[in-house]
Amino acid sequence: MRWLTLLPLILLLSLFALSNMEAVELRLWPFDLAWVAPLGVAVLVLCALAFLLGAFLAWTANFGARRRSREVETAAKLLDAELAGMKQQEAEAQRAANLGRLSAPVA
């Protein structure tokens, strides 16, 4: 199912890269570095880098929510254990009350 959405996207990106084969020189201002590459490849590489940067920023933005989720999950486990203990105490008390009624003398 995923291939049905990925295949058109891959085809579109491939056609874009193949349609823009003119060489372009990319420079970074304070440095004397230049990268000569086909325009389609340069644009796709820069888009991929921007996507990875955005994904990293979104991933780090969720640290607080994941931490709170772990805290709530730990609290829920503690409350479940406490509830199980109280149910066990209630069952023991009910059993003791039933035994007390059975052993009480009938008047």
| Interval 19-43: pLDDT, tens | 888 999 988 888 888 889 999 888 8
Domain count within the chain: 2
Pairing of strands 23-28, 33-38: antiparallel
10 Å Cβ neighbour count for 50? 10
Is residue 84 assigned to a domain?
yes
| 46 and 71 inside one domain | no
pTM of this prediction?
A: 0.59
At 49-75, the pLDDT tens digits run: 999 999 999 999 999 999 999 999 999
Asked if 20 and 40 count as a contact pair (C-beta separation under 8 A), the reply is yes
- Between the two ends of the chain, the Cα-to-Cα distance in Å is 77
59 in a structural domain: no
